Amino acid sequence: MKSPIKDAYTLILEAIDMGIFKPGDRLVESDLADRFGVSRTPIREALQRLETQSLLARDGRSLIVASLDHNQLAELYVVRAELEGLAASLAARHATEEEVRVLRDMVDDDRKLLGDPQALARANRRFHKQIHLASHNRFLVQQLDLVHRSMALMATTSLAARGRDEDALREHDAIVSAIEARDADTAGEALRAHISKAFVTRLKLDSGEVESTV
């Protein structure tokens, strides 16, 4: 049976990840307890944990959802690209045939989500998580979980940029093709390039150079 503390933590984290709570939003114990139907004690402990992980920040006596400045964003993408690239390389070496089939099915299924940035963003997280697991390296998976937790602090998805969804799926297809071919070097490079392009798109979104569809 899951502990109430873990449940409260997961519920709040998922709400941040889905954009229900955005950077700068104030989180109040009593409101969260009512929203999620749990007592204030596990909510309080979950908030403390999220603050320790830098997902929440202090604003006077209040806790707000943290935000990433330009430098933090750049640092996060550098680390993400390297770790994700390593995961893809290891997946090319160690993924089972069944895991590779799941990745291919994900790419095929996600084509149905083109034009729906939020649904595609959720599918994108599942796709990347599957690659992490297919690496068969528990320590790498743990580090990538931390990175993706911080990614939840981004108020919008880069997939909301006009045209980015189709490009991203083509990049996913190339990554899976390299994993299918057991080409570790190409898989790693394809995923690092994918993350780099996502970062460029995010910078263009933030500067207003490209339009968001949401």
Q: Name the nearest CA neighbour of 202 among 64, 81, 87, 50.
A: 81
List, in sequence order, every residue forming a beta bridge with 59; answer none if it has no partner.
Answer: 62
Q: Is 86 helix (H, G, I), strand (E, B) or coil?
A: helix
Choose among 103, 23, 92: nearest CA to 64: 23
Cα–Cα distance measured from residue 207 to residue 203, given in angstroms and rounded to the nearest whole number: 6
3-state secondary structure of 116: coil
Angle, helices 117-134/138-151, rounded to nearest 10 degrees: 160
pLDDT tens per residue across all 214 residues of the chain: 444 445 899 999 888 887 789 889 999 999 999 999 999 999 999 999 999 988 999 988 899 999 888 899 999 999 999 999 999 999 999 999 999 999 999 999 999 999 888 889 889 999 999 999 999 999 999 999 989 888 888 867 788 787 888 999 999 999 999 999 999 999 999 999 999 999 999 888 877 777 666 5
